[in-house]
Structure 1
Amino acid sequence: MMKEFSLAFASKVWEFKLRKEQIAVEFLPNLNPSHANIPDLIRNALFQPVGYPELKRAITPDDRLAIVLVDHFNGFLEILIAVLEHIAGTGVAMENVTLVCLACTNSDSWVDNLPDEFNEIKIEVHNPDNKKATAFLTSADDVGMLYLNRTVIEADQVVVLGKRQYDPYFGISGAEADIFPALANSEMISTCSKEVLGDDANSDLGKQKALKVSWLLGAPYYIQIIEGSNASVEEIFAGADQANRFAEKRLDEIWKQDATSTFDLVIALVGGADEKIGFVQLCRALVCAKRIVKKNGAIVLLAQAEFNLNDIKKQLEMKSIGKSEAAFSLVPHHLIRHWVDAASQGKVYVSTFEGKDDIARLLALPLRSAQELCDLGSKADGVAIIRDAHKSYINIKKR
Structure 2
Amino acid sequence: MTKGLTGGTIPLLYGKKEITFNFSKLEVRDILLPFYPAPLDDIVKRIKYSLLFPISSLSFRLHFSPGDKVLILVSDITRNSGLDIFLPILIEELNSCGIPDKNIEILFTLGIHRALKEEEQLAIFGKDIGSRIKAYNHNAWSDETVSPGITSRGNQIFLNRKIFEADKVVLTGTINFHYLAGFGGGRKSLLPGAAQYDSIIKFHLLSLYPEPGKGRHPKASAGILTDNPMHEEMEEVLDMVKPCFLLNTVMDSSKQIVEVFAGDPKEAFMKGCIYFLDHYAVRIRGKTDIVIASCGGLPYDINFIQAHKSLEYSKNALKKGGVLVLLAQCSDGIGNNTFLNWFEHKNVEEFELALRKNFEVNGQTAYSTLMKAKEYKIILVSSLPKEVVEKMSITPATSIEEAMDIAFSITGSSCSAYVIPQAAKVLPYMVDR
Query: What's the TM-score, normalizing by structure 1?
Result: 0.86
What is the aligned partner in structure 2 of residue 85 from structure 1? 92
The answer to whether the aligner puts 1:253 opposite 2:272 as a matched pair is no
**2:141 maps to which of 124, 129, 150:** 129
What is the aligned partner in structure 1 of residue 118 from structure 2? 108
What is the aligned partner in structure 2 of residue 231 from structure 1? 255
The answer to whether the aligner puts 1:4 opposite 2:11 as a matched pair is no
Identity %: 19
| Structure 2 CA distance for aligned equivalents of residues 135 and 394 of structure 1 | 40
Greater shift in the superposed pair: 274-283 or 46-55? 274-283
User: What's the CA shift string for 1:229-266, capped at 9, x where partnerless?
Assistant: 13222212211132112111110121111122222211
2:185–2:269 Cα contact (<8 Å) kept: no
What is the aligned partner in structure 2 of residue 293 from structure 1? 318
**2:242 maps to which of 194, 218, 226:** 218
1:50 Cα offset (Å): 2.1
The answer to whether the aligner puts 1:198 opposite 2:202 as a matched pair is no
Greater shift in the superposed pair: 270-279 or 138-147? 270-279
User: What's the CA shift string for 1:11-51, capped at 9, x where partnerless?
Assistant: 221211245xx462221111124433543443333233223
| Structure 1 CA distance for aligned equivalents of residues 44 and 291 of structure 2 | 37
Q: Which runs of structure 2 are paired with 1:1-399 in the superposition (5 Å)?
A: 2-9=6-13, 10-18=17-25, 22=27, 24-71=29-76, 72-101=79-108, 102=110, 103-104=113-114, 106=116, 108-112=118-122, 114-116=126-128, 119=131, 121-131=133-143, 133-195=144-206, 196=208, 197-199=216-218, 201-202=221-222, 203=224, 204-240=228-264, 241-272=266-297, 277-309=302-334, 312=336, 314-318=338-342, 320=355, 334-352=364-382, 357-358=386-387, 359-375=389-405, 376=407, 378-379=412-413, 381-399=415-433
Cα distance change, pair 226–34 in 1 and its aligned pair in 2 (3 A): closer
1:301–1:349 Cα contact (<8 Å) kept: yes
| Structure 2 CA distance for aligned equivalents of residues 79 and 210 of structure 1 | 24
Task: Give the match's secondary structure for 2:310.
Answer: helix
| Structure 1 CA distance for aligned equivalents of residues 23 and 413 of structure 2 | 13
Task: Give the match's secondary structure for 2:424.
Answer: helix
User: What's the CA shift string for 1:71-103, capped at 9, x where partnerless?
Assistant: 331433233223222222222122222211225
2:177–2:183 Cα contact (<8 Å) kept: yes
Task: Give the match's secondary structure for 1:223.
Answer: strand
Q: Which amino acid aligns with 1:392?
A: V
1:296–1:345 Cα contact (<8 Å) kept: yes
User: What's the CA shift string for 1:116-169, capped at 9, x where partnerless?
Assistant: 5764533222223322x1112112433521222221133221111101111122
User: What's the CA shift string for 1:190-238, capped at 9, x where partnerless?
Assistant: 2223331234642533111111111111243111011101322221221
Q: Which amino acid aligns with 2:37?
A: N
Gaps of 5+ in 1: none
Cα distance change, pair 18–116 in 1 and its aligned pair in 2 (3 A): closer
| Structure 2 CA distance for aligned equivalents of residues 47 and 252 of structure 1 | 25
Q: Which amino acid aligns with 2:312?
A: V
1:340 Cα offset (Å): 2.7
| Structure 1 CA distance for aligned equivalents of residues 299 and 153 of structure 2 | 42
1:169–1:205 Cα contact (<8 Å) kept: no
Greater shift in the superposed pair: 271-280 or 172-181? 271-280
Cα distance change, pair 230–362 in 1 and its aligned pair in 2 (3 A): farther
Aligned length: 389
Task: Give the match's secondary structure for 2:380.
Answer: strand
Cα distance change, pair 313–16 in 1 and its aligned pair in 2 (3 A): farther
